[in-house]
Structure 1
Amino acid sequence: MSDNKKPVAVQAVKGMNDILPPDSARWDWLEDKVRALMRRYGYLNIRTPIVEPTALFVRGLGEVTDIVEKEMYSFEDSMNGDHLSLRPENTAGVVRATIEHSMLYDGGKRLFYIGPMFRHERPQKGRYRQFHQVGAEALGFAGPDVDAELILMCRALWQDLGLKVGEDVRLELNSLGQPAERLAHRQALISYLEQHADALDEDARRRLHTNPLRILDTKNPAMQALVEAAPKLMDFLGEESLKHFNAVRAVLDGAGLPYRINPRLVRGMDYYNLTVFEWVTERLGSQGTVCGGGRYDTLIEQLGGKPAPAVGWGLGIERLLLLVQEVGAQPAPVVPHAYAVVPSHAALPQIMATIEALRAQGVSVLMHPGGPDGPTGMKSQFKKADASGAAFALVFGESELAQGVVAVKPLRGGGEQVLRSLTDVSAWSATLLAP
């Protein structure tokens, strides 16, 4: 490269986005809501690696799922030849960690996670190649009460975020029964679809003998009448599966939560059984699922652990934030409590000590930055203070500092400027926190 040739700027990978201020404050707000919700329900945080053995997802999700066939970022470790993948979802990783660390030795665990996932999809609004999920997983619990608890937890989150159930989001519910029941339904479904082979699109023909249940979830308008008339899994459920499903419904009915039974709701992973559910919206176009989950009682054994039941859900943060924005339920802007106006650098040691003492008391203080030749003029600093949204300006003038005080000037709603002692910050810091 010649000395005078400007280097080309490196850009982010397509579909993997930077989250910048002030938008990142919306993410903080949502994640704070999630963590508070999980504390109320007794769910504890788990953090697993973003890179896992590829075999984990092949065994866990199923070889013929779209995720494994077309969407995973997989590679061979150049150091030892291991086959690895960026996680496309995190239920399998949570189960792997549960098995590896014998987490169920003393009973069931309620866990949640927040983090990035990766799928090589066509980027579109709300769906990216690096996306972020919140997930809740209850492992070691067999009862329908935990299924219902997880669904009601979602309702509580929607309410915390300012979303209206039934208007902004609605619940769809189904039961996939047990493997033997699904097998009987599968055979009937294949037989039915074979009789209408000419009406199947290319994707349905590919799935006909590998994953026919997914054909029921087709978005192809030309196939809607065909799948509506297909054999319904609900008709193949046995007494115990129906008992479990009806018990979940009874809890939701008792809680006053409306839902629609959707016999075509199958979810995208092979590991689900019994209860499956989705929270959907019509405010984000055709990609309407905001949150989905269900019971996966065979996955722990499938991945090498001692058989144990489990149920959980996951939601996409990007899509949820879009929905929150669409309905206007935005968080309040993040602003400092106070803005420090600094007339000169000479007294910075004393000024900084005061600001740090205020911050230690929980007061957020934004200090005006100075250049190499000192701070800008007072008029400019007060403009910056007002633009910051702070409720107060802390004016460290020479005359105030000589008296051992700082001038606290209200910037919102009027009020008189007062002088506060620099030596006893804790005595007055709470006045800056008052709304």
Structure 2
Amino acid sequence: MTISIPRGTQDILPGEVELWQLIEQKARELCEKYQYQEIRTPIFEHTELFSRGVGDTTDIVQKEMYTFEDRGGRSLTLRPEGTASTVRAFVEKKLFGSANQPVKLYYMGPMFRYERPQSGRFRQFVQFGIEALGSNDPAIDAEVISLAMNLYKEMGLKKLKLVINSLGDKESRIAHREALVQHFKPRIHEFCSDCQNRLEKNPLRILDCKQDREHELMSTAPSILDYLNDDSKAYFEKVQKYLTQLDIPFEVDANLVRGLDYYNHTAFEIMSDAEGFGAITTLAGGGRYNGLVEEIGGPETPGIGFALSIERFIAALKAEGVNIEMNQGIDCYLVTLGEEAKDYSVGLLQQLRLAGISAERDYLNRKIKAQFKAADRLKAKFVAILGDEELKNNKINLKNMETGDQVELDLDSFVSTFLEMQQ
């Protein structure tokens, strides 16, 4: 019986995984420049964390979570996103007391959502995200957005669109909420059951409904921008000013809402404008979530962050035809002739690797011609040829695979000589 991979998951094989590693490396390097530090949280958490932190009116909580009971009868959930876990760790480990404020964190790892698999959407997917906790400065909103944009640009993406909105402060959201209720209530029976449940709990979530997005009331719904008070307007204007100062183009979309119930002020999405990318164009999304730390049991602490999918990142690179040469080849391949030379090469290979040289040898007892073919497949820059006769004479031949030049070197000093040649 053949056991196949679960639906909505994928194997990332050699030849593909190198691109993943490069993106992860770029993300880590960029976070170091921006002074964000890595945090690693459990893959599963208590279910209550996500129902409170993500919001019980969201599709994630209502439909998409992998939830199970452990042997102690506790309800646990595979993490569907990274913000709630990061904030939980921030509260539980009392990072709000850190001398360095704001606390700037990043995470990278698998997330899980039970949704219909399609292009760019998996049930297990990998997110990279950042969270900045402790600052109300709109400049850090711009910083968070700029980090995401710079990561995409450093990998060669050009066809990007940044869309931003303001959800306002608490006062503004209450005013907007009342207007939304009045707008939708007379005809709420025409909407799906999810929207009917959201009307009183969180009417803003109706605007994010995929099933009823073509309903005529959607296009005429009250805009949050019309309900921003003076403080919220000033905040949003500052964010736009800083983005302009950072030379980051953007569009304002009053209909943009985010999946968390506790988002406020800045909300944003980065989309791919590449032709043929697919129906799901969003690459990254985030926003400010003042109030989330308190909801999870911490002190009043403002926060902002974003998350991006590595899978969609790679899809965007392919859609734009960005050519990234991944396999740079190895430094040296050892070709051996004879049993004594083959035995000696085991230790010689170790010496090369300990000296920082990427090296390989044959393990299949292949003939010399087949060993050279293996070296070509590995894109070896040099091939070192060692036979029993050379071993007796303390010699080894080194061939430059690009030029074809070949030199004879002393075996005792081969590793140090090879290192000098690389400099």
* TM-score category, normalised to shorter length: over 0.9
Please name the residue that 1:61 is paired with: 54
Runs of 5+ in structure 2 lacking a partner?
none
The match for 1:399 is 389
Q: Does 1:103 align with 2:103?
A: no
1:22 aligns with 2:12: no
Counterpart in the other structure of 2:249: 258
In structure 1, what is the Cα distance between the partners aligned to 2:196 and 2:420?
Answer: 69
Amino acid at match of 1:139: L
SS of the residue corresponding to residue 147 of structure 1 reads helix
1:267-305 deviations in Å (ceiling 9; x for gaps):
111121111110011332211110001111111111001
Change (3 A) 1:222 1:376: closer
Q: What residue identity is the alignment partner of 2:206?
A: I
Alpha-carbon distance between aligned partners in 1 of 2:77 and 2:422, rounded to the nearest angstrom: 47
What is the letter of the counterpart of residue 141 of structure 1?
S
| CA deviations over 1:358-415 (Å, ceiling 9, x no partner) | 2223221122213xxxx11101111111122122112122232223232211222x24
Give the one of 175, 180, 190 matched to 2:166: 175
Distance 2:418 2:37 in 1: 34
Amino acid at match of 1:25: E
* Structure 1 partner of 2:312: 319
Q: Which deviates more, 194-203 or 183-192?
A: 194-203
**Paired letter, 2:379:** G
> How far apart, CA to CA, are the structure 1 residues paired with 2:421 and 2:113?
46
1:130-145 → structure 2 map (5 Å cutoff): 130-145=124-139
Cα deviations by residue, 1:101-139 (Å, 9 ceiling, x for unpaired): 111212321111110000001111211111000011111
When residues 328 and 406 of structure 1 are mapped into structure 2, their CA distance, relative to the original with a 3 A threshold, is farther
Aligned to 2:345: 351
CA contact (8 A) 1:363 1:433 kept: no
Q: 1:153 aligns with which of 147, 153, 166?
A: 147
Which of 361, 376, 386 matches 1:386? 376
Give the conservation status (yes or no) of the 8 Å contact 2:189–2:196: no
CA deviation string 1:22-61 (max 9, x = no partner): 1111111111111111111111111100010000001101
CA distance in 2, matches of 1:223, 1:97: 40
Q: Which moved more, 1:191-200 or 1:381-390?
A: 191-200
Q: 2:118 pairs with 121, 124, 130, which one?
A: 124
Q: TM-score, normalised by structure 1?
A: 0.91
Q: C-alpha distance in 2, partners of 1:290/1:430?
A: 43
1:396 aligns to what SS in structure 2? strand
Choose 393-402 or 230-239, whichever is displaced more. 393-402
Unaligned stretches of 5+ residues in structure 1? 1-7
Q: Provide closer, same or farther for how the CA distance between residues 173 and 403 of structure 1 changes in structure 2, counting only shifts above 3 A.
A: same
- Give the letter aligned to residue 114 of structure 1: M
**Maintained 8 Å contact 1:341/1:381:** yes
Give the corresponding residue for 1:194. Answer: 185
Q: Once the 2 structures are TM-superposed, how far is the Cα of residue 357 of structure 1 from its aligned partner?
A: 2.0
Q: 2:199 aligns with which of 208, 213, 216?
A: 208
Match of 2:366 among 361, 365, 376: 376
Counterpart contact for 2:192–2:212, Cα < 8 Å: no
User: Residues 415, 276 of structure 1: CA spacing in aligned structure 2 closer, same or farther, 3 A cutoff?
Assistant: same
Tell me what 1:13 maps to.
Answer: 6
Give 1:64 shift: 1.4
1:305 aligns with 2:298: yes
- Cα 1:426–1:377, aligned 2, differ >3 Å: closer, same or farther? closer
Select which of 81, 84, 87 maps to 1:92.
84
The alpha-carbon distance between structure 1 residues 422 and 285, as it changes in their structure 2 partners (threshold 3 A), is same
Whether the 8 Å contact between 1:135 and 1:312 is mirrored in structure 2 is yes
Q: Aligned equivalents of 1:126 and 1:340: distance in 2?
A: 42
Q: Is the 8 A contact 1:357 1:425 kept in 2?
A: no
Counterpart Cα distance in 1 of 2:227 and 2:419: 65
2-side partners of 1:405 and 1:331: how far apart? Answer: 39
> Would the alpha carbon gap of residues 310 and 341 (structure 1) be closer, same or farther in structure 2, given more than 3 Å must change?
same
Sequence identity percentage: 39
Letter in 1 for 2:200: H
Question: Which residue in 2 is equivalent to 1:185?
Answer: 176
For 1:72, give the aligned amino acid: M
1:31 to 17, 20, 24: 24
Does structure 2 conserve the Cα–Cα contact (< 8 Å) formed by 1:338 and 1:432? Answer: no
Q: CA deviation at 1:425?
A: 4.2
1:240 positional shift: 1.5
SS in 1 for 2:363: coil
- What is the CA–CA distance in structure 2 between the aligned matches of 1:259 and 1:428, rounded to whole Å? 55
Q: 1:230 to 1:408 in 2, by over 3 A?
A: same
Question: For 1:418, which of 403, 407, 410 is the aligned residue?
Answer: 407
Q: Structure 2 CA distance, aligned partners of 1:65 and 1:27?
A: 30
d(CA) in 1 for partners of 2:162, 2:390: 61
Q: Is the 8 A contact 1:121 1:128 kept in 2?
A: yes
| Aligned AA (2:411) | L
Shift in Å, 1:208:
2.7
* TM-score (ref. length: structure 2): 0.94
Query: Cα deviations across residues 190-219 of structure 1 (Å, max 9, x unaligned)?
Result: 111224446535553343333321222344
Deviations 1:301-343 (A, max 9, x none): 1100111111111000111111112212233132222222122
